[in-house]
Chains A and B, each alone.
Chain A
Amino acid sequence: MMHHLGKVALPVYFWLFVTWLFLPLFVMAAMGFRDSNFVAFPIQSWTTDWYQSVLDDREILASLWVSLQVAVLSTILGLGIGTPMAFMVARFHGVWRAILITIIVMPAFIPIVVSAIALRMFIGNFGIQTGLVAIAFGHAVSSVPFVVVMLLTRLNSMSPNLADAARDLGADEFIIFFRVVLPYLSPALFGAFMFCMLLSFEDFTRSFFLGSFDPTFPVLLFARLRFGFDPGLAAISTLVLVATIALGIYAERFTRKRTAPAKQGRLAASGDDKNV
């Protein structure tokens, strides 16, 4: 009985989930091709005009440019702050490590609206201008936890003998860092980079609270929504979706390819007294 249930019901359950996940996206993508000013089914005639109009829309292009600048700046901040933190945490063990990680990861669990309002009040009190830089700092707050955790995971998998081997062969601390540790971390750094970029690009709440007159892309979309749906929004969203998925898949494949060699070397020491 259970056997039959597993054979039939579980796949059905799975495909229902997949449908629920992807159907809205397909509908949205299809709407972008509808030759009408309204979003509705069925689609009687098809057009690529909406896509064309997106590429001609200066406002959209400007908002994408703002989003890109914010993403790059916040990613630089996130990696610049998170990387040294990961190295610092890696030196601790036991309770102290747990405490440090908890503090660092905290921003990821604070409700985004709360953190956005707090940041807004904070910069208001200190007379900092809203806009691109403020948004980037706001995004960095949320990306640092991910950077630290991703790098720390990679650092933990690194055999301590790797640095010792380089030292033994004549490398000083500087060379060890740039020739051994950093290349070893590179897949995680790349992963963290992609993650920061996407996290920043898709953020609406912080960008909304911390932004000024130049909207980021999601903020612009929100503004447009208030005038009602049109197939143009579907077209933009589809373009962003395709670009994001392509980047995500590339990043995932790249990271996996570069991480594979790390499997070597972590072998259980059999009854040795290395730590004595």
Chain B
Amino acid sequence: MTWLTPGIGLIAAAIAVPSLLILYFLKLRRRDVEISTTLLWRKAIQDLQANAPFQRLRRNLLLFLQLLVLGAALVAVAQPQSVTQRFETQRHIILIDRSASMSTTDVPDDRGGTISRLEQARRAAKAMVDELREGGVFSKDEADEAMVIAFDAGPQIVQQFTGDKARLRAAIDSITGAQTPTSIEATMAAAIAHLPKRLVEGQAIEGLTAGQPVTMHVFSDGRIPDATRAKPGPENRVEYHMIGTKAAGNVGITSLRAERSFDNPAQLTVYAGIENNEAMDRRVDAEIMVNGRVAGIKSVTVPGVKEDGPAPEGTAAPEALAKMPETWARPGVAGVAFSMEEAGAASIRVRLLSPGSGTMLEQDTFALDNEGFLAVPAAKRLSVAVVSSAGNPFLEAALSGLPLSRLSQFTPGTWEETLRRGKAGEFDVVVLDGWVPEADAAGNPLSPGRYLVLGELPRGASGIVRKGDGGVGVIIDWTRDHPAMKNLMLDDVQAGAMPVLEVSRELGATVLAKGDRGPAVVEMQTPAVRAIVVGFDVMKSTWPLRVSYVVFLAQAVQYLGDEGSVQETGRQSQPGREIRDRLPAGAQDVDVRKMPDGERTPLIAGADGSVIIGPLGTTGLYEVSWKGAAGPTDQIVSGRAVRLYAVNLNDSGESDVRAATRLPLASDVATASLKTRTEGVRRLWPWLLLGALLVLMVEWWVYNRKVYV
């Protein structure tokens, strides 16, 4: 507390207090009364009647009250003011992280136990709400307002701007945890979108907010991979409230993958990547269960964190890392692989257990990543038809080396005969070498199926149009992440006759490889047809002589033959995300349920069988079933086709539960120690005068009651 005018107050006190006391002595003009004897009165007033002035005043309530009034007035004259910590801004956005890592139970409790980070975040947020200013009678300030947003993979606005603390607290209490990864970029964008826009000539301008800047309070453990892309706005402030401890230890599965052997698809290998962010090495048992049966347990030692390593990819942008003085200790990584013979569809569950005990991990503050799931389709060898007018020894040699269940040769005539007989559906992939059928009456270039077209272009509305011959050409670029094109080196491919093609995106055609004269390899997709078209004549190029030709054929056949697009050996996703997949055309009565006994939720399949499943909130295995034809890898259960999907956290950033002391944003670095507080002055004199008035009223009441002792 400080005083604005203490001198004046002291002088006034020096004059007023003695004056009051003197006045009090003088004011007692007693009336003389003669009585028979003072004997009894003397006894009664022994204390009061003493001559000493202070004894006389000792129990005088009225004088005491008057002194109190005078004292309050004098202190008010000295203009006391208290300096308090207050927020710099009046508007606040409370962002509460409820992602998977916030379920870590590493926050010590008052009662000796531990609570989850989300609970601690709720408590800290409510404490922050308590700090908000309320508009007062004697305060020129208006009340602070706050908005509550919970975020995980996306934002959820729990409470709009309000100054009502009870509603804010209730909103904060209503936030429950999720199992999803964290993203703050969209959250901040949503928060800013709720601020009033700045008007320029009557038009609201996106990105420019009006009014006073806001403070965004981020209650999080700082495990936010996209924080460096989050833009809180140039004028707004960010206060990062670190939740959780830096030393929180966790061992968890951060990647899970299953692969079937190329040569022997019944040979299934499951890989689990395990990370440890503790200082010490951790020994854990990894248990794998296939279709509910334990198929193996392996013991693995996961090394402790590696000091002074670079920050993991995606955790923070390099420019933000430059602002971070703390060194990032990389979690220790270990892997475990299980190999088994499993030709059929397999639902796989991998768990981390305490070594030798068979029980769940001890001293692990984050349980969500201690198990993972996989849905592996049944092993299937493809059957391939090659339709070639003149025969192609390179193609035949390359395809015969693939592990196919069937490889049949057709001439255009025999193939059309097969088509007529309706036997074409027996083949998963048809390779059309230098020949394409004519388009049907509706203009469809190909009958339903999957095609690899070499050296020719489909007729009709295929989206690929030949514009002319281009002569000799080379391939200069290709999409390296396409399943059919990955791991290829096409720099050394020269084509003797590279046609000039035009590709129409509207008709579902995408370019996979570009030559110097335009598109060279194109993927064509219609609801019924998927085809990869190599536009130039392969036999008049150097490609058959390159290794990349064989690899391309193998990958293209595998890609076209594979039904799903999720992943080649396991349909996986993360919590909070939706899965896009395509069911066989004509699928009806589609629904999804969580294994083993979740409720069925209906899904709507598109005309081409495409469905969007989810978003699926929790980890585990999900079963999509439908009426209708089953795909090559689907199972038939009780007359319904069934396809399994796995949802795993599989997020190294979430599994690394060490709370970060800094939150590097696109524009700034918010540290846990930085408080967006400023010193505010609160004048106390009006309260003192109010108090004096109240005491005066009490004095008046006392006076009227004549209780003058």
Q: Do A and B bind each other?
A: no
